[in-house]
Amino acid sequence: QKKIGVLAVQGAFAEHIRVLQKLDVHCIEIRKKADLESSSLNGLVLPGGESTVMGKLLRELELFDPIKKQIDDGLPVLGTCAGLILLAEEIAEYDTVHLGNMHIMARRNAYGRQSGSFQTEQKFAQCGKIPMVFIRAPYIESVDTHVEILAKVNHHIVAARQENIVVTSFHPELTDDLTVHKYFLNIVHQK
């Protein structure tokens, strides 16, 4: 059974765990450095929430460096919404960068702060249409040439992959559709 860590310091981690348990993986809540060290993970999920708060907690809890390094070393990671922002090498109109492993530019609150929540259906990778829930979501403004675009909504990139890193600006953990998590677990199983 594969071991998937879910960053559990803030945000929608419980929902990811609920989905992953349906897919028969062993979930480990990552709240402190020891949680990372005590288990050799096969994958990691960075959930949605508030990227500023999560970025701050990552640093305070000394999770920042080990997580950044493990991702650079090839650990499969799924970042959703705020998780996408944490992974972006650049954040439009912000000087802050968090983990920054992925060669994309993210735009925070790209659909507006208040009324920026909506649901739609669109194609994801080769998997056909899936439901997509957006909550004060970012989108991806630009990607490097080696980044694969997995989904677009209204011409904006909302999901992408760079080798071991998969990001979505929507919340796949808030619907019953398992496509995105299955796609991620495929990468985990190929490692």
Query: Which of 15, 81, 98, 103 does the annotation list as catalytic?
Result: 81
Q: For this structure, is 15 an active site residue?
A: no
Q: Give least dist CB 129 to ligand GLN, A.
A: 22
Other beta carbons within 10 Å of 91: 21
Q: Give least dist CB 135 to ligand GLN, A.
A: 4
Token pair of 122 as six digits: 């669109």
Binding window for ligand GLN (CB under 6 A); candidates: 44-52, 69-77, 146-154, 179-187: 44-52
Integer distance in angstroms from the first to the last C-alpha of the chain? 13
Token pair of 142 as six digits: 């630009």
The gap from C-alpha 88 to its chain's centroid, in whole angstroms, comes to 10
Phi, psi dihedral angles at 65 (to 5 degrees): -65, -50
161 binds ligand GLN (CB under 6 A): no
Helix (H, G, I), strand (E, B) or coil at 118: strand
Among 7, 20, 30, 49, binds ligand GLN (CB under 6 A): 49
Residue 151 burial (CB < 10 Å; 0-12/13-18/19+)? buried
Q: For this structure, is 171 an active site residue?
A: yes
Token pair of 144 as six digits: 């490097």
51 binds ligand GLN (CB under 6 A): yes
Among 108, 124, 164, 181, binds ligand GLN (CB under 6 A): 108
Site string for ligand GLN, 114-153 (x = CB under 6 A): ---------------------xx-----------------
Give 126's DSSP letter.
T
Which residue, among 50, 65, 70, has the nearest Cα to 9 in the 3D structure? 50
168 binds ligand GLN (CB under 6 A): no
90 binds ligand GLN (CB under 6 A): no
Site size toward ligand GLN (CB under 6 A) is 11
* Active-site annotation, residues: 81, 171, 173
Residues that bind ligand GLN (CB under 6 A): 48-51, 81-82, 85, 108-109, 135-136
